[in-house]
A and B are shown apart, each in its own frame.
Chain A
Amino acid sequence: MQPLLKVEGLKKSFGGVAALRDGQFELEAGSVHALCGGNGAGKSTFLSILMGIHKRDGGTILHRGNPVEFGSPAEALRSGIAIIEQELSPVPHMTVAENIYLGREPSARFGGIDFKTMNRNAQALLDRLEFSISATQYMMNLSVAQMQLVEIAKALSHEADVIFMDEPTSAIGEKEAQHLFSAIERLKAEGKGIVYVSHRLSEIFQIADSYTVFRDGGFVGAGKLADIDRPGLIRMIVGRELGEEYIKTNTPTDISGLEVSGLSAPGKIEDISFTARKGEIFGIYGLMGSGRTEIFNCLFGMDNPSAGDIRIEGKSVTIRQPSDAMAEGIAFVTEDRKVTGLNLSDSVRNNICLASLPEMSPAFVMRRSQEQAASADMIDRFAIKAARDTMPVSGLSGGNQQKVVLGKWFLRQPRVLLLDEPTRGVDVGAKREIYRIICDFAAAGGTVVMISSEIDEILGMSDRILVMRAGRSAGIRNRQETDAQTLVHLST
């Protein structure tokens, strides 16, 4: 059978630096194909060439056997190749139908829009896909997961037969992800080809039929997922033996590090109590919107709890604003490094020093040598790959950016580390380094509280796990006594 999409020898350089040396790819109709690779492996470049955003330097792309070349995303879409991007860009104040048919609205008399036909068509499409979304709803009232489904419907309304999904589960919860997967199954049954890009290996094994691995801009290998196991795939992605994925080196002590009792914030969280001990990695698992992040916001003074008591190493503390929390030795690695973690317009060095400015300027004037030394120290300690520490932090890969955020907080020598999705959007190699950093911190007597949506990660890293459901605690489990099913069950 002729493949739906066949790519050979795709090349692309930016300013003399090869981002993609040899892109190879083959997609069968009616299958889900996982595109795997670390950050900087060339996946994004590959996608942007297929989408018509960048022009290729060499190579061929065959769509249903015909060579194609796209000058813009619109051209790619017209020929049947669609992408569901990682960061969706819907028009919030328009309805679902208006978003689906944006720029292609059926016209009525006098050049107006035939809303009736448009809504009917959109609803028919959504129903066919079994998405329980109303076509006349406003986009802004949908959840991120629903917006993704609308994007899928939009792609199908263009008669797309190749659909790329770039990290579609990075912003949605476990339950919604399962909905998405059943939608993908339906697309597969309709004979579409789906290219699934994700760092989450468990999803890949659940949903995909075959895989292609890129590394350092080149093709490494491809095959059926049935013929490879998880360690084998990891080995291909990172290019070396990594051994055990989660290596725990910490042992919890009996000393209380962070004690939270009866913490409540109206409409967000209710009566949350737990004690994380020194040397412990305490996990918090829950769906998006279950109140996970809200706990951290209260602990860090971003939000003011209405009730509750916080004790750090036995001492009761009052936290009204982030600087109070920082004075008590709390550090908070936020969920979205681009929105709340980094100043992207500034340098690596200034970002590392951002949370320590008063300490580095006792007499108002910045001590530049101290800044330089601190930044060099963190870059060295966390093996941050940056040409110079004065380069913009936006030029680093996701994993290295995350290490800059960690560096910013470790510079303060915290006692309690709050981590909200510390490895989101980070490749397998960098993930491991981040796990090592977290374990080392706990092993040295630090207290770690970590939120994660990735069930493998939370089970692999935590000593105990608190499960959140609808703003309340659904129980605390020891890692030895629990499993993925139990956590998912508790959280829903």
Chain B
Amino acid sequence: MSSIENKSAGNWLNSDRRRLIVQEYGIFLAFLLLVAILSVSNEFFLTPGNISNVLLQTSINGILAIGMTFVILTRGIDLSVGSVVALAGMVSASFVTSSATAGIAGAPYPMVLALAAGILVGVACGAVVGLIVSRFSVPAFVATLGMLSAARGATLIYGGGRPVPGLSAEFRWIGTGNILGIPMPVILLALVFGISWWVLTRTRFGRYIYAVGGNPHAAKTSGLNVSRIRFMVYVISGALSGLAGMILSARTGSALPQAGIAYELDAIAAVVIGGTSLSGGVGRVTGTLIGALIIGVMNNGLDLMGIQSYYQQVLKGALIVGAVMLDQKRNQGL
């Protein structure tokens, strides 16, 4: 007890405080370091065009990773995001395509309908997973692995295995348009980030998520509806996957049945690099955003240096494991 009092007095660089600083800002410092190295070593890196490009490339993974953060904070995992991206992209595209064979009857419809359809598909997939996880106590890994397969299958069935081309210009605007020079996907990412940050840090629901992830038993004895909270995080992840799927279709101008394959891995990587604990209860969405940016910046930097994408994958693997190793170390105390 006396030890606690001693720590608080004076000496701002005591171990307690130092740990806090590294925890809060460590990942941000690592990001700045990476940016600094790349801007010194490559003259193109810090040009407005390239910055915009990095952000654009990060936006889809960023949105998926933010949804994943909600899930991982409750000790869950969502492996289905890549497949839901494809399904939502395909369903929404079928509302706005000018192709007579690929679209649904009466297409193209106004963009709003397509957006609603895409989000609904994501919500539905998330709700199914959420129900299986929260009511039937199936491990999230298994439930979402099932959805990974089922949603990919549904995509192929829905589109007959073919892409949906010729999307309306109005719809493509969400992927290719911009407001005041800022690309739409980046604006959407910023919105998703802002709302998620607010929900997780400022609202009752955010507290519930941390409590359920930190100790589900204690959450239950404190009167929290643990199953409902578990259900909700999969719905959120599903809805954000739906949004990401539409952005992807809009950017490429057509919805592809093989879209989003292995996207779940990059999303999980961003969350993990961002310092969220896979055992739940600890982490922040700010870290996830920076984690996604680190992946984006690294890929871009290596591209600029002319390094093959094969090597990029090896480096990304090392980065993920290294970030968690650091995390373990800082949890043991510095």
Contacts and interface: CB of A to CB of B under 8 A. Distances in A.
Contacts of A365: 202-204
A366 B205 CA distance: 9
A375 to B, nearest CB: 13
B221 A341 contact: yes
A322 B5 contact: no
B84 to A, nearest CB: 27
B298 to A, nearest CB: 29
Main secondary structure of the interface of B (DSSP, over half): helix
B210 A323 contact: no
A350 B16 CA distance: 19
Contact of A15 (B15, B205, B206, B215): B15
A346 B3 contact: no
B203 A364 contact: yes
A346 B203 contact: no
B220 A302 contact: yes
B282 interface: yes
Q: Which bracket fits the contact residues of A? A: 35 or more
A14 B3 contact: yes
A368 B206 CA distance: 13
Interface in B194-251: 202-208, 210-211, 214-215, 217-225
Contacts of A397: 1
B4 interface: yes
B6 A17 contact: yes
B202 A343 contact: no
B281 interface: yes
A46 to B, nearest CB: 15
Category for how many chain B residues contact A? 20 to 34
Contacts of B221: 300, 302, 322, 332, 334, 340-341
Contact of A355 (B4, B7, B8, B222): B222
B2 interface: yes
Nearest to A346: B214
Contact of B222 (A354, A360, A400): A354
B8 A346 contact: no
A366 B3 contact: no
Contacts of B5: 385, 387
B45 to A, nearest CB: 38
Contacts of B225: 321, 323
A334 B207 CA distance: 21
A53 B224 CA distance: 39
A366 B201 CA distance: 9
Interface string A285-303: 0000000000000001010
B14 interface: yes
Interface in B11-52: 14-16
Interface of A: 14-17, 19, 39-40, 216, 300, 302, 321-323, 325-326, 332, 334, 339-346, 350, 353-355, 357-358, 360-361, 364-366, 368, 385-388, 391, 395-397, 400, 408
Interface of B: 1-8, 14-16, 202-208, 210-211, 214-215, 217-225, 277, 281-282
- Enumerate the 10 nearest inter-chain pairs by beta-carbon distance, A residue then B residue, closest first: A343-B214, A387-B8, A361-B204, A17-B3, A355-B222, A323-B223, A345-B281, A345-B214, A340-B217, A343-B215
20 contacts: A16-B6, A17-B2, A40-B2, A40-B3, A321-B223, A323-B225, A332-B221, A339-B217, A342-B215, A343-B281, A344-B214, A354-B222, A361-B204, A366-B206, A385-B5, A386-B4, A387-B16, A391-B4, A400-B1, A408-B222
Given A15-B7, A343-B219, 4 more contacts: A16-B6, A17-B6, A343-B211, A353-B207
